[in-house]
């Protein structure tokens, strides 16, 4: 028994446009866990970052680098 359904060219794999992505899985996993932990520390250690208490974005964006410095200071101890 043979099918009589014509082949649809739109279902073929189209070539990818742009620069091909190159990803090293082991590096990605180790860096991703570090970044996730860092953001976790920021959210648990500094409630004003997690809740966004500041009314002005300038104040909020000024506090982000300060919180990053304090987290790094804790880690380096």
Domain ranges (residues) in the chain? 47-77
This prediction has a pTM of: 0.56
- Joined together, the tokens standing for residue 7 give 């082949």
What was the pLDDT predicted at 51?
A: 82
pLDDT tens digits, one per residue of 4-52: 777 777 877 777 788 877 888 888 888 999 889 888 888 888 888 888 8
What was the pLDDT predicted at 36?
A: 92
What was the pLDDT predicted at 2?
A: 74
* CA 11 to mean position of chain CA atoms: 32
């Amino acid at each position: 028994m043979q099918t009589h359904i014509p082949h649809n060219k739109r279902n073929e794999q189209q070539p990818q446009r742009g620069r091909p992505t190159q990803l090293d899985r082991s590096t990605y996993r180790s860096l991703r866990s570090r970044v996730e932990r860092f953001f976790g520390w920021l959210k648990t250690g500094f409630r004003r970052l997690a809740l966004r208490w500041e009314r002005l974005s300038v104040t909020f964006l000024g506090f982000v680098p300060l919180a990053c410095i304090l987290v790094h200071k804790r880690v380096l101890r």
